[in-house]
Chains A and B, each alone.
Chain A
Amino acid sequence: MSRISEHPILKFEDKPVINFTFEGRKLEGRQGDTIASALHANGIMVLSHSRRNKRPRGFFCAIGKCSSCLMTVNGKANVRTCVEPLVEGMEILRQPATGGELKW
């Protein structure tokens, strides 16, 4: 896990663990994480792939503005993982650029 342990100004105490899965792998996040921050802390930077050239996509803005971090969460496509809080038991999947089978 790559988390900041010492900081001259901010305090990041050991917060309670939140368990979740990514592509079936069991991972741990911390209370207060968004999905993307928890994935990043676990070394997962590729969140999806571009539609035509299948290039890897990570997050860019981290404030819900750029759509670079959309993933499928608990079966729901196109969740902005950089602003969605991580919740115990969440199942996170990478998705095709459009969010997979569109259901409308």
Chain B
Amino acid sequence: MVETQLLVVGGGPAGLAAASAAASLGIEVLLADEGLKLGGQLVKQTHKFFGSREHHAGVRGIDIPNLLLENQDKVNIMSNTTIIGCYEDGVLTAVTGEDQYFKIKPQRVVFATGASEKFLSFPGNDLPGVYGAGAVQTLMNQYGVVPGKRVLMIGAGNIGIIVSYQLLQAGIHVAAVVEAAPNIGAYLVHASKLARAGVPILTRHTIVEAKGTDSVQSAVIAQLDEKWQVIPGTEKELEVDVVCLAVGLSPVLDLLSQIGCRRKYIPELGGDVPFRDKQLKTSIDWIYVAGDTAGVEEASAAMVEGRLAGAAAAAQLGADSTEAGKIIASCQASLDSLRRGPVGAKIRAGIAKLEGGCCKCLNHQA
């Protein structure tokens, strides 16, 4: 049994920031991450980040983990290690690689497990060649392998548009981007870069079917009416070998569900999200959440939430309360400022629903 004061699950921006904040307050931290390389979503991002400068905007995503890891020799890092169980007696089970199983008994846990991709139903969606946007990025940007020759992108939110651009950078043809909504959801700077490169972005369009025997050989797209129904006769068949799904993310809650944290369905935050207080403590006293797990947002907010949860857990573990209090207050202030304005409206609405709803109905799935 491995013992530690704080266990951080997940080494993306949120988990790294949580570990570093707690370690800077003198807490003994163990950070477990499933990946071979730390950084979570960041290791795949070749673009310069949007967001505020103090949270590394302008730095390419792939370079951010190094910045977050500065002064972190007090953090014990376990990569290639997945947390697979979380039990009421405070024990978590873990596996390194495929078969080295062990137990961890921490005094506090921060879950920063990120989000996973939503799926879409259409005939042929199980064919090889129908890949999540994250997988396409992993393959290209981490392993340098070409995912296919011609790609149909589903979804014109930030992820769909950015991954399309990354495909072009890797020399791969993007046949089209289809988006069911009437508008492009992504930041227009990125969308216009794509349009300038000659990639059609078709709003009010969807995929109807992926065709192929052993893998995708073509895809049928069609136009949608105001009621989101396919307009008959508008179907078009595109010759593509990859269909890339970028239709949203939802928080990874498997372990939090296992232990019975209260949750609530809030579409603005990506689906089911864990209930938590202003210091990111869940309904269970020894468990905190941060980053996309606490509600799908973006990397700057994930880093600030990580720092906040790390400092709050450290304070509970007996760290200097003035120092921890300073970090907590400054993080809460920067979250408010990150979520200000029209861009943050959706997140603010989601959080208001979460905070307004501490009633019995939160228990419905616990």
Contacts and interface: CB of A to CB of B under 8 A. Distances in A.
Classify the interface of chain A: helix, strand, loop or mixed: loop
Given A40-B147, A45-B215, A58-B127, A63 B170 contact: no
A87 B143 CA distance: 15
A45 B129 contact: yes
Contacts of A32: 143
A41 B60 CA distance: 26
B49 to A, nearest CB: 13
A40 B149 CA distance: 13
B198 to A, nearest CB: 17
A83 interface: yes
**Contact-residue size bin, chain A (C-beta under 8 Å from the other chain):** 35 or more
A66 B111 CA distance: 20
Contact of A59 (B62, B97, B135, B144): B135
Interface string A70-88: 0000001001101111000
Contact of A8 (B35, B97, B146, B169): B169
A6 B134 CA distance: 21
Nearest to B99: A76
A33 B143 contact: yes
A46 B128 contact: yes
Contact of B145 (A8, A40, A63): A40
Given A56-B128, A59-B131, A61-B135, A3 B98 contact: no
Contacts of B89: none
Interface in B135-159: 135, 138-141, 143-147
Contacts of A82: 135
B214 A40 contact: no
Contacts of A55: 126-127
B46 A62 contact: no
A102 interface: no
A50 B126 contact: yes
Interface string A24-65: 000000101110010011000111001000011111111111
A103 interface: no
Contacts of A2: 145-146
Given A9-B60, A63-B138, A41 B145 contact: yes
A46 B134 CA distance: 19
Interface in B189-215: 213-215
A12 interface: yes
Contacts of A41: 143, 145-146
B130 interface: yes
Interface in B210-233: 213-215
A47 B128 contact: yes
Output the residue of B131, B134, B140, B143 with the most chain A CB within 10 A. B143
Contacts of B130: 58, 60
Output the residue of B60, B117, B129, B170 with the most chain A CB within 10 A. B170
A33 B142 CA distance: 9
B160 interface: no
A53 to B, nearest CB: 9
B117 A61 contact: yes
A60 B145 contact: no
A55 B215 CA distance: 10
A84 B143 contact: no
B341 interface: no
Contacts of A9: 46, 60, 169
Given A37-B139, A45-B214, A57 B126 contact: yes
A59 B143 CA distance: 15
A4 B126 contact: no
Instruction: Please list the 4 inter-chain residue pairs (A to B) with the smallest Cβ-Cβ separation, ordered nearest first.
Output: A58-B128, A62-B135, A12-B144, A37-B143
Interface of A: 2-10, 12, 30, 32-34, 37, 40-41, 45-47, 50, 55-65, 76, 79-80, 82-85
Given A4-B170, A37-B143, 5 more contacts: A4-B140, A9-B46, A58-B129, A60-B132, A62-B131
